């Protein structure tokens, strides 16, 4: 039986999302260490915002966590020892050459959701993300903001326990950013663990429960959001928040 048959939980009955553990994880390519070694445990409520300058290793960290890359050293582990249901939303949505609704029904089919429930789940999600009018529009002709909402709707129908978002708003205007942030909050309230990268300090302040700060391929600190923005522990994060050019 598919794990996606598990009904969505009301917020009053939420179980904590699975914790993510990086145990001495490193990723190297051609003898160059691009990330790590690093150890941290995401067992807090979140959302976890991953911050740091360009090329710091934020996307690598997300891809390792999501299992798109394998560490060349160490271990990525989840509490409960089972890989949770997880989804990832990218800066540039990766959508199929199909209609908006078919992108959702396809994702449900791939995840073994029974055929009889797919169409209803897909249309419910399109409605939730304000895309009903676009349901039969080819996904790739949607606007950037609509495409990102469709990517979120596709994650939504799968009821992920963990959602990774890699700079999901960097190409969007303020209205579209607001819609994405509202969706992120709603995922979080439904009990999904959120791990998201951003360059936008204001966005991080709006969303973060805790911050993982990465620079030069190293995780410099993992700090509750309030403490991070008030007084970051690492010299690198202090410089970053002060607006200095950090590499």
Catalog residues that contact ligand ATP under the rule CB under 6 A.
Answer: 29, 34, 52, 54-60
The pair of structure tokens assigned to 17 is 């999302």
Write down the least CB distance from residue 173 to ligand ATP, Å. 20
- The answer to whether 47 touches 212, Cβ cutoff 8 Å, is no
Whole-number Cα distances in Å, 214 to 43, 131, 158, 170, 188: 18, 35, 29, 18, 23
Nearest CB to ligand ATP, comparing residues 60 and 158: 60
Query: In 53-153, at which residue ranges do the beta strands (DSSP E only) sit?
Result: 73-78, 86-89
Write down the least CB distance from residue 28 to ligand ATP, Å. 9
Nearest CB to ligand ATP, comparing residues 63 and 128: 63
Write down the least CB distance from residue 166 to ligand ATP, Å. 7
Write down the least CB distance from residue 235 to ligand ATP, Å. 18
- The answer to whether 67 touches 77, Cβ cutoff 8 Å, is no
Beta-bridge partners for 78: 20
Nearest CB to ligand ATP, comparing residues 92 and 238: 92
Distance between CA atoms of residues 37 and 115, nearest Å: 44
Nearest CB to ligand ATP, comparing residues 168 and 191: 168
Length of the chain: 247
Other beta carbons within 10 angstroms of residue 244's beta carbon come to: 9
Nearest CB to ligand ATP, comparing residues 29 and 178: 29
Nearest CB to ligand ATP, comparing residues 68 and 182: 68
Write down the least CB distance from residue 10 to ligand ATP, Å. 35
Write down the least CB distance from residue 203 to ligand ATP, Å. 14
Distance between CA atoms of residues 17 and 82, nearest Å: 12
| Start-to-end Cα distance in the chain | 48
């Amino acid at each position: 039986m598919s794990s996606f048959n598990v009904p969505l939980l009301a917020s009053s009955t939420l179980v904590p999302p699975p914790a993510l553990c990086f145990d001495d994880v490193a990723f190297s390519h051609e003898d160059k260490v691009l990330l790590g070694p690093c150890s941290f445990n995401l067992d807090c409520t979140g959302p976890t915002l991953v911050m740091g300058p360009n090329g710091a290793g934020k996307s690598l960290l997300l891809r390792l966590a999501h299992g798109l890359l394998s560490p060349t050293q160490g271990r990525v582990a989840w509490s409960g020892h089972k890989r949770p249901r997880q989804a990832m939303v990218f800066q540039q949505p990766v959508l199929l050459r199909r209609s908006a609704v078919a992108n959702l029904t396809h994702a449900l089919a791939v995840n073994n959701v029974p055929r009889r429930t797919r169409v209803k789940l897909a249309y419910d999600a399109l409605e939730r993300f304000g895309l009903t009018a676009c349901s039969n529009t080819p996904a790739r002709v949607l606007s950037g903001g609509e495409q990102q909402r469709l990517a979120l709707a596709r994650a939504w129908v799968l009821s992920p326990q963990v959602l990774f978002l890699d700079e999901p708003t960097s190409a969007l205007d303020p209205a579209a950013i607001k819609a994405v942030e509202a969706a992120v909050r709603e995922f979080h309230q439904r009990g999904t663990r959120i791990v998201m990268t951003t360059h936008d300090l204001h966005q991080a302040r709006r969303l973060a429960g805790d911050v993982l700060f990465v620079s030069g391929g190293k995780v410099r600190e993992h700090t509750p959001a309030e403490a991070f923005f008030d007084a970051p522990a690492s010299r690198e994060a202090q410089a970053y928040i002060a607006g200095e050019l950090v590499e």
